[in-house]
Amino acid sequence: MSSVKLRMKELKDGRQSLYLDIYHNGKNKHKSLELYLEKPTSAEVRQLNEKTRLTAEKIRITIQEQIINGTFGQKYIKKDITLLNWFEELTEKRRKSNINYDAWRSALKHLKSFFEDRDHILLKNLTVSILDDIKEHFRSQVSQNSSASYFDIIKHSVHQAYREKLISDDPATLVKSIKYNAPH
């Protein structure tokens, strides 16, 4: 059960600070609205306070709607980025930092070959099934250890997209990695 309640806190100067008391997913959060009610010293101030209350109530309703439709707390930066475009961005960052770039570049090459005869997939539409297909494609293209390495990199990129709130869930957590062969 979730709830969003408008609350007031008395300030030392006599004003009241408005904030939201948000209970969602078992956690309680207080969100300051940075809206204040002044001491009602005149009809003009009372009218201003009523407008401020209405603004605060609109914010409360918006957050309640976000909770209901499952978008509360999510900030989608690039809604329509494909998995391949996302992976290209991350690979370019690796090129600039030179951290594990060769492995990322190779994984990118094989990911591109996966999409040669398929439609590109939006990151937000990525599923366990698609990741399993990518895994099988890698297995059919390169050695066991190379496919394990490349697929781990793909999974890492999906985890990163989730951490950056580009996707609302992380299907890579549900896909088993490829086992590495022990050296002989």
Residue spans of the domains in the chain: they are 3-69, 83-174
Query: pLDDT per residue over 98-121, tens digit each?
Result: 889 999 999 999 999 999 988 889
Report the alpha-carbon distance of residue 75 to residue 44 in Å, rounded. 38
Per-residue pLDDT band at 73 (split at 50, 70, 90): low
Of the candidate ranges 5-9, 22-26, 137-141, the one whose mean pLDDT is the lowest: 22-26
Query: Which of these, 74, 75, 79, 78, lies nearest to 24 by C-alpha position?
Result: 74
**Token match 């997913």: residue?**
25
* Paired tokens of 11: 């300030």
Query: pLDDT per residue over 83-92, tens digit each?
Result: 999 999 999 9
**Token match 């707390």: residue?**
73
